[in-house]
A and B are shown apart, each in its own frame.
Chain A
Amino acid sequence: MDGFKKGQVEKLGREVRLMQGNQAIAEGAFYAGARFYAGYPITPSSEIAEECSKRMPQLGGVFMQMEDEIASMGAIIGASLAGAKAFTATSGPGFSLMQENMGVAVMGEVPCVIIDVQRSGPSTGLATKPAQSDIMQIRWGRHGDQSVIALCPATVSECITLTVQAFNFAEKYRVPVILAPDEVVGHLRENVIVPEPGDLEVIDRKRPADAPADYKPFAADADGVAPLAAYGSRYVFHVSSSMHGPEGYSNNNPANAAWRVTQLHRKIEMHRDEIVLTKTFDTKDADILLIAFGATTRASRAAALELRKRGIRAGVLQLVTLWPFADKEVALLGQRAKTVVVTEMNYSGQVAGEVRKVLGSGADLRRVNSFNGDIITPQDILKVIR
């Protein structure tokens, strides 16, 4: 039950419920205060939309089924600027459609959450089968140079807690945040402890405090983030996808563009340590480091336990945050280990490439990949370790 000791759950007096990953994502969103969902159905994410269609009106929020994913992304940005915590959910083909408008959320610094329940491609691919092959698209899918925050749950419990975390990062840093479970985790059913109000931290965006006439929606505070007003408040403000100055109006001055591009990256860079989340299992003395994320975390943990039984010191580094990349964490643990294994459901080794960048060409880096819709088993991982 994700770190709780026997008897602890009962002591806490919390409800335990069998939940599906996608359902749990929706629960996490409601817990975080999300009251606007706009989306388009797509396997394997549609359960999220269905939950929202039932619960949003009950909560006094809005559920809209938009005509496509492009419209869904536009609608959640509009709703967010009108003051809502807003999100959408999709999978590969829909995620591709969302890229252009996602860039507006980056440029306009609009908090929102995008769920990508990763499925097997390329293109229409195997719609009902899992993959972890959108990792680079999540990082680089928008044209132009943009930094992004992305998280990946490996358990149904993390589907709740990381969705809340995604909203918190979105609100705190005024960014779109991608939560990208694979289809395995999205459709998995596990017991979860249902959090009560107060159990998990919920962060709301900074609101302006100055006089309305002085408000500049893109003039950052010392923490790199400007307060965000809402349409309909006493603050009148301007948001633009075009290059703009601190007050939001078009500005083609090169010095302004340099400042603005830098600021959009810096506000994530300067909080990197808070944003990059990892979990480690048995890594203190590990000779073999298994790096994984999402569903492959489960197989890696099982493989590590089996290796330990055989007297081999193995540990697991779970990437909870996909982007920014956990370079410091990988370096620290990877350099201590003799062998590093990166397990991911894609052909190109999208995460292995980032690990190689950190550890260098001399490291004993081995890859376990699947790209046929099948999940990776512990046995698959054990095969690469002699």
Chain B
Amino acid sequence: MKYLKNGVLPHMWCPGCGVGVMLGALLRSFEELGYEREETVVVTGIGCTGKSDDYLVTNALHTTHGRALTYATGIKAFNPKLHVVVLMGDGDSVTIGGNHFLHAARRNMDLTAIIINNFNFGMTGGQFSGTTPGGMFTQTSVYGNPERGINICALAEVAGANYVARATPYHVWEMKTNIKEALNKKGFSVVEVYSPCPTNYGRHNDMKTAADMLHWLRDKGLPIEEFNRRKAPEKEGYFAIGKLVDRDDPDFNERYDQIRAIAQKS
């Protein structure tokens, strides 16, 4: 694997964690799409997912918590020829990073955001995040989460992303398909990866083994067509996977090129 650094395995993620599976799918996608390392930049934030850059030999930028999309925006706006991929967790992308997520989607920045959603802040020991469902138990919600969790895919859709998909490490082939579609798509592309976190989230919520959490993903993840077919009560407890949004609105660079043309004429 020409994108993987030599001598870094075994990686640091826990047994059963989905980050490694996602990274494998991402690197295979790079290979299948023929991405050169020189033209690829991986931007990461802080957290378990954010550690991904240590394993890669593409260009990389390991930034601050929640802000990866802002750095990626600057890179892509200045050099539109680069493939810019942003790897974030649920904390990074829509909790502390919520504002930047909204605006990256609103601008339709031509970035591929791959978000590992394990429903907690894993790296810091398993506190609840912006996606932790209400009532769930974490290090800072020992009586149950008093808040609700946000739906990342719905947020991305409303904010204007061109491509939104949800995948899981259980549905690993579909995940690679979604990642490739997201990489190929111009505009803001989001692949949300529901991931087990047996060490923290699973342990506190009756899914003590990696297998327990994978079973949950297998049993509760419905292809979008099936999910849409079901009426409300039958959807309870299930989630949609697959390609959820696919449109071709102009991305930021295309729009800004038009601005430059106007500016240079005047």
Contact = CB atoms under 8 A, between A and B. Distances in A.
Given A233-B38, A238-B60, A250-B54, A74 B78 contact: no
Nearest to A74: B70
A57 B264 contact: yes
Contacts of A240: 53, 60-62
Contacts of A79: 74-75, 77-78
A100 B64 contact: yes
Contact of B75 (A35, A73, A81): A81
Contacts of A84: 74, 78
Given A71-B100, A83-B79, A236 B58 contact: yes
Contacts of B99: 67-68, 71
Contact of A238 (B59, B75, B77, B259): B59
A69 B67 CA distance: 11
A58 B79 contact: no
Nearest to B50: A242
Given A36-B78, A104-B63, A78 B259 contact: no
A276 interface: no
Contacts of A58: 260, 263-264, 266
A241 B263 contact: no
A232 interface: yes
Contact of A36 (B38, B57, B62, B77): B77
Contact of B79 (A77, A82, A237, A239): A82
Interface residues of B, number: 41
Interface in B66-119: 67, 70-79, 81-82, 99-100, 102-103
A44 B259 CA distance: 26
Please report whether the interface of chain B is mostly helix, strand, loop or mixed according to DSSP. Answer: helix
A70 B74 CA distance: 12
A214 B134 CA distance: 51
Given A64-B77, A239-B62, A231 B82 contact: yes
B78 A83 contact: yes
| A interface bracket (residues with beta carbon within 8 Å of B) | 35 or more
Given A67-B100, A82-B82, A232-B79, A77 B62 contact: no
Find the residue from A76, A78, A82, A237 having the highest chain B CB count within 10 A.
Answer: A78
B61 A78 contact: yes
Contact of B61 (A38, A81, A230, A232): A81
B11 to A, nearest CB: 12
Nearest to A35: B78
A54 B263 CA distance: 7
Given A74-B67, A100-B64, A240-B62, A86 B37 contact: no
Given A82-B75, A104-B63, A75 B264 contact: no
A101 B96 CA distance: 14
Contacts of A73: 70
A111 to B, nearest CB: 13
Interface of A: 35-36, 38, 54, 57-58, 60, 62, 64, 66-68, 70-84, 86, 100-101, 103-104, 108, 230-242, 248-250
8 contacts: A58-B266, A78-B71, A101-B67, A231-B59, A231-B79, A235-B38, A236-B37, A239-B62
The 6 closest A-B pairs by CB, nearest first: A78-B74, A74-B70, A75-B74, A57-B263, A79-B74, A78-B71
